[in-house]
Structure 1
Amino acid sequence: MTNSIEHKTTHRSNNDKEKLLNRLKRIEGQVRGIQKMVEDDRYCVDILTQISAINAAMKRVGLQLLENHTHHCVSDAIKDGDGQEAIRELMDVFERFTKS
Protein backbone atom coordinates (compact mmCIF):
# COMPACT_ATOMS: atom_id res chain seq x y z
CA MET A 1 0.00 0.00 0.00
CA THR A 2 1.27 3.46 -0.91
CA ASN A 3 2.04 5.92 1.87
CA SER A 4 0.04 9.11 1.27
CA ILE A 5 3.03 11.20 2.41
CA GLU A 6 5.20 9.77 -0.35
CA HIS A 7 5.79 12.26 -3.15
CA LYS A 8 5.39 10.69 -6.55
CA THR A 9 6.53 12.32 -9.76
CA THR A 10 5.11 12.23 -13.23
CA HIS A 11 6.55 12.25 -16.69
CA ARG A 12 4.93 15.38 -18.05
CA SER A 13 6.19 16.70 -21.37
CA ASN A 14 7.84 20.11 -21.38
CA ASN A 15 5.05 21.35 -23.64
CA ASP A 16 2.33 20.13 -21.23
CA LYS A 17 4.19 21.58 -18.27
CA GLU A 18 4.55 24.94 -20.02
CA LYS A 19 0.84 25.04 -20.86
CA LEU A 20 -0.13 24.24 -17.26
CA LEU A 21 2.25 26.83 -15.85
CA ASN A 22 0.96 29.49 -18.26
CA ARG A 23 -2.62 28.77 -17.24
CA LEU A 24 -1.72 28.94 -13.57
CA LYS A 25 0.13 32.21 -14.07
CA ARG A 26 -2.95 33.67 -15.78
CA ILE A 27 -5.07 32.52 -12.84
CA GLU A 28 -2.56 34.07 -10.45
CA GLY A 29 -2.95 37.35 -12.34
CA GLN A 30 -6.72 37.09 -12.07
CA VAL A 31 -6.42 36.61 -8.29
CA ARG A 32 -4.22 39.70 -8.06
CA GLY A 33 -6.87 41.53 -10.08
CA ILE A 34 -9.49 40.56 -7.52
CA GLN A 35 -7.26 41.84 -4.73
CA LYS A 36 -7.06 45.17 -6.55
CA MET A 37 -10.82 45.18 -7.07
CA VAL A 38 -11.35 44.73 -3.31
CA GLU A 39 -8.83 47.49 -2.55
CA ASP A 40 -10.65 49.77 -4.99
CA ASP A 41 -14.06 48.95 -3.43
CA ARG A 42 -15.39 47.57 -6.70
CA TYR A 43 -18.97 46.34 -6.96
CA CYS A 44 -19.50 42.96 -5.28
CA VAL A 45 -21.10 41.36 -8.35
CA ASP A 46 -18.05 42.27 -10.46
CA ILE A 47 -15.75 40.62 -7.92
CA LEU A 48 -17.98 37.53 -7.69
CA THR A 49 -17.96 37.25 -11.48
CA GLN A 50 -14.17 37.22 -11.47
CA ILE A 51 -14.12 34.61 -8.69
CA SER A 52 -16.43 32.44 -10.78
CA ALA A 53 -14.06 32.77 -13.74
CA ILE A 54 -11.11 31.73 -11.58
CA ASN A 55 -13.00 28.73 -10.23
CA ALA A 56 -13.82 27.63 -13.79
CA ALA A 57 -10.20 28.09 -14.87
CA MET A 58 -8.93 26.05 -11.91
CA LYS A 59 -11.44 23.31 -12.70
CA ARG A 60 -10.12 23.18 -16.29
CA VAL A 61 -6.55 22.84 -14.99
CA GLY A 62 -7.66 20.08 -12.64
CA LEU A 63 -9.49 18.22 -15.39
CA GLN A 64 -6.45 18.46 -17.64
CA LEU A 65 -4.29 17.00 -14.88
CA LEU A 66 -6.84 14.24 -14.20
CA GLU A 67 -6.93 13.33 -17.88
CA ASN A 68 -3.14 13.22 -18.12
CA HIS A 69 -2.92 11.17 -14.92
CA THR A 70 -5.47 8.67 -16.23
CA HIS A 71 -3.88 8.30 -19.66
CA HIS A 72 -0.35 7.93 -18.33
CA CYS A 73 0.02 7.06 -14.64
CA VAL A 74 -3.10 4.92 -14.22
CA SER A 75 -2.66 3.24 -17.59
CA ASP A 76 0.99 2.42 -16.82
CA ALA A 77 0.05 1.07 -13.38
CA ILE A 78 -2.56 -1.23 -14.91
CA LYS A 79 -0.01 -2.50 -17.44
CA ASP A 80 2.46 -3.10 -14.58
CA GLY A 81 -0.09 -5.04 -12.53
CA ASP A 82 -0.76 -2.28 -9.98
CA GLY A 83 -4.14 -1.36 -11.43
CA GLN A 84 -6.26 -1.85 -8.33
CA GLU A 85 -4.18 0.59 -6.28
CA ALA A 86 -4.08 3.13 -9.13
CA ILE A 87 -7.84 2.94 -9.67
CA ARG A 88 -8.52 3.32 -5.93
CA GLU A 89 -6.25 6.37 -5.85
CA LEU A 90 -7.95 7.80 -8.96
CA MET A 91 -11.39 7.36 -7.43
CA ASP A 92 -10.21 9.10 -4.24
CA VAL A 93 -8.98 12.00 -6.36
CA PHE A 94 -12.28 12.17 -8.27
CA GLU A 95 -14.17 12.25 -4.98
CA ARG A 96 -12.06 15.15 -3.68
CA PHE A 97 -12.18 16.95 -7.03
CA THR A 98 -15.95 16.82 -7.31
CA LYS A 99 -16.71 18.03 -3.78
CA SER A 100 -18.09 21.52 -3.64
Structure 2
Amino acid sequence: MNEEKKKAIQALRTSKGQIEGIIKMLEDGRYCIDVSNQIYAAQSLLKKANLLILRQHLNHCVKQAFLHDSGDEKVDEIINLLSKLLKD
Protein backbone atom coordinates (compact mmCIF):
# COMPACT_ATOMS: atom_id res chain seq x y z
CA MET A 1 0.00 0.00 0.00
CA ASN A 2 1.43 3.39 -0.94
CA GLU A 3 1.78 6.41 1.33
CA GLU A 4 -1.22 8.31 -0.07
CA LYS A 5 -3.55 5.40 0.65
CA LYS A 6 -2.16 4.98 4.18
CA LYS A 7 -2.74 8.67 4.92
CA ALA A 8 -6.23 8.54 3.38
CA ILE A 9 -7.17 5.55 5.52
CA GLN A 10 -5.94 7.35 8.63
CA ALA A 11 -7.95 10.47 7.75
CA LEU A 12 -11.06 8.34 7.13
CA ARG A 13 -10.64 6.49 10.43
CA THR A 14 -10.25 9.78 12.26
CA SER A 15 -13.34 11.22 10.55
CA LYS A 16 -15.26 8.05 11.46
CA GLY A 17 -14.39 8.66 15.12
CA GLN A 18 -15.42 12.29 14.80
CA ILE A 19 -18.77 11.34 13.27
CA GLU A 20 -19.42 8.89 16.09
CA GLY A 21 -18.60 11.70 18.51
CA ILE A 22 -20.95 14.07 16.68
CA ILE A 23 -23.80 11.58 16.99
CA LYS A 24 -23.13 11.32 20.72
CA MET A 25 -23.05 15.12 20.99
CA LEU A 26 -26.49 15.30 19.37
CA GLU A 27 -27.84 12.55 21.59
CA ASP A 28 -26.50 14.40 24.64
CA GLY A 29 -28.12 17.65 23.54
CA ARG A 30 -24.86 19.55 23.10
CA TYR A 31 -24.77 23.15 21.88
CA CYS A 32 -25.57 23.39 18.15
CA ILE A 33 -22.53 25.52 17.27
CA ASP A 34 -20.22 22.96 18.91
CA VAL A 35 -21.87 20.21 16.88
CA SER A 36 -21.59 22.26 13.70
CA ASN A 37 -17.88 22.90 14.32
CA GLN A 38 -17.29 19.17 14.69
CA ILE A 39 -19.20 18.47 11.48
CA TYR A 40 -16.97 20.99 9.70
CA ALA A 41 -13.86 19.26 11.08
CA ALA A 42 -15.11 15.87 9.84
CA GLN A 43 -15.83 17.34 6.39
CA SER A 44 -12.30 18.72 6.24
CA LEU A 45 -10.86 15.27 6.94
CA LEU A 46 -13.05 13.73 4.25
CA LYS A 47 -11.83 16.34 1.76
CA LYS A 48 -8.24 15.59 2.76
CA ALA A 49 -8.80 11.87 2.23
CA ASN A 50 -10.37 12.52 -1.16
CA LEU A 51 -7.42 14.63 -2.28
CA LEU A 52 -4.98 11.94 -1.17
CA ILE A 53 -6.89 9.32 -3.15
CA LEU A 54 -6.99 11.57 -6.21
CA ARG A 55 -3.25 12.25 -5.90
CA GLN A 56 -2.62 8.50 -5.78
CA HIS A 57 -4.89 7.99 -8.79
CA LEU A 58 -3.07 10.62 -10.84
CA ASN A 59 0.40 9.42 -9.84
CA HIS A 60 -0.30 5.78 -10.55
CA CYS A 61 -3.43 4.93 -12.53
CA VAL A 62 -3.44 7.91 -14.86
CA LYS A 63 0.33 7.79 -15.40
CA GLN A 64 0.09 4.10 -16.33
CA ALA A 65 -2.82 4.75 -18.67
CA PHE A 66 -0.84 7.36 -20.57
CA LEU A 67 2.14 5.03 -20.82
CA HIS A 68 -0.18 2.49 -22.45
CA ASP A 69 -1.95 5.01 -24.73
CA SER A 70 -5.26 4.89 -22.88
CA GLY A 71 -5.01 8.15 -20.95
CA ASP A 72 -7.95 9.93 -22.59
CA GLU A 73 -10.47 7.84 -20.66
CA LYS A 74 -8.72 8.64 -17.38
CA VAL A 75 -8.74 12.35 -18.20
CA ASP A 76 -12.49 12.18 -18.82
CA GLU A 77 -12.96 10.48 -15.43
CA ILE A 78 -11.01 13.25 -13.70
CA ILE A 79 -12.93 15.98 -15.53
CA ASN A 80 -16.26 14.41 -14.53
CA LEU A 81 -15.16 14.17 -10.92
CA LEU A 82 -13.87 17.74 -10.87
CA SER A 83 -17.17 18.99 -12.25
CA LYS A 84 -18.93 17.31 -9.29
CA LEU A 85 -16.46 18.71 -6.79
CA LEU A 86 -16.75 22.24 -8.15
CA LYS A 87 -20.54 22.19 -7.80
CA ASP A 88 -20.26 21.81 -4.02
More helix, by proportion: 2
Match of residue 59 from structure 2:
71
Q: How far apart, CA to CA, are the structure 2 residues paired with 1:87 and 1:18?
A: 24
Match of residue 10 from structure 2:
22
TM-score by length of 1: 0.79
Alignment gaps of 5+ in structure 2: none
Match of residue 87 from structure 2:
99
The Cα RMSD (Å) is 1.4
CA gap of 1:63–1:15, structure 2 versus 1, over 3 A, is closer
TM-score by length of 2: 0.89
Match of residue 3 from structure 1:
none
Q: How far apart, CA to CA, are the structure 1 residues paired with 2:52 and 2:3?
A: 13
Alignment gaps of 5+ in structure 1: 1-12
More moved, 88-97 vs 55-64 = 88-97
